[in-house]
Amino acid sequence: MATLVVGVGTRAGAPAGDLARLVDALLRDLGAGAGSGPGEPARVGCVATAERKAAEPAIVSLAAHLGVPLVTYADPQLAAQPVAAASATVARRVGVPSVAEAAVLTSGCAVLGRARSSTAVVVVGRREGAPGAG
């Protein structure tokens, strides 16, 4: 079974409801293509982000909304990832060129899709195999 990882980067104070709607819409858009095979849907296994975002209310709320754990990564782990969508603005503000995509890659996932709003970036990745594998 495929497990999805939802990578999240937000501005401080991002509205929790807006983040949940952004993630729900992206997961819905990925729909049938998210599973590892016909009739085998993927499931969200965790929300992943930077350690510095571990207490951000919108991100904590999102993990609760999805009913999954929040996994965090240190800046050196995130900075080591070869991201496709590096941001100079994010690098200036938080010290790494990506949070959401880098968190998905650090989780051992292939990127499936991404969405952004004025306060958040969300990247969904897929990890094949048993839950917790990889």
How high is the pLDDT of residue 41? 60
Question: Which residues, at least 6 apart from 112, have a Cβ–Cβ distance to it below 8 Å?
Answer: 4, 30, 33, 34, 124, 125, 126
Kindly report the CATH number assigned to the domain that includes residue 24: 3.30.420.180
pTM equals 0.86
How high is the pLDDT of residue 67? 93
Which residues of the chain are under the pLDDT cut of 50? Answer: 32-38, 130-134
How many structural domains are present in the chain? 1
Tens-digit pLDDT profile for residues 35-72: 444 455 668 999 999 999 999 999 999 999 999 999 99
> What is the residue range of 86's domain?
3-31+41-119
Polymer length of the chain: 134
